[in-house]
Amino acid sequence: MNKYLMALTIAVLLICVGLSGCNETSNLEAKLLGSWKIDVIEDDFSVTLTYTFYDNGSVLVHGERVNGEEISLTKWSTYSLTSEQLCITTEGTTQCGTYEFSNNDERLTILYEGVSEPQILTRVP
């Protein structure tokens, strides 16, 4: 009886630990869902990019040039999220980075691997 009780206790603990890990990822994903905006400013142009994250693992990236020549860019991509990294895959190329939510989850800072400056996105109301 003690062996059965011990095995049942271990099984319940493993299930609880497993579910708590999934819950953390789903909470993080809930923070990520929706639209985020970043203004990219270079010497001779600026572009506003909007990332819209959906719960099916897809992300729509839309860009519009703010000054100079009018351009519009729309790309469907996919994303994956763990407690440590956000990865976005576009046309077979995956870019991963660490991320942090701040300012009451209204600000998302992503530092992609191999890039020195972080991207700072703000939630679109």
Q: Which residue did the predictor score with more confidence, 6 or 55?
A: 55
The pLDDT assigned to 123 comes to 97
In 1-85, where do the E strands start and end? Answer: 34-41, 46-53, 58-65, 72-81
The encoded tokens of residue 40 equal 């990219």
Q: In whole angstroms, what is the distance from residue 88 CA to residue 121 CA?
A: 15
| Prediction pTM value | 0.74
Look at residues 48, 19, 71 and name the one whose alpha carbon lies nearest to residue 121. 48
Q: Which residue did the predictor score with more confidence, 60 or 14?
A: 60
CB 88 within 8 A of CB 94: yes
The pLDDT assigned to 40 comes to 85
Per-residue model confidence as pLDDT tens digits over 83-116: 999 999 999 999 999 999 999 999 999 999 999 9
Query: What domains are there in the chain, each with its CATH number?
Result: 2-123 (2.40.128.280)
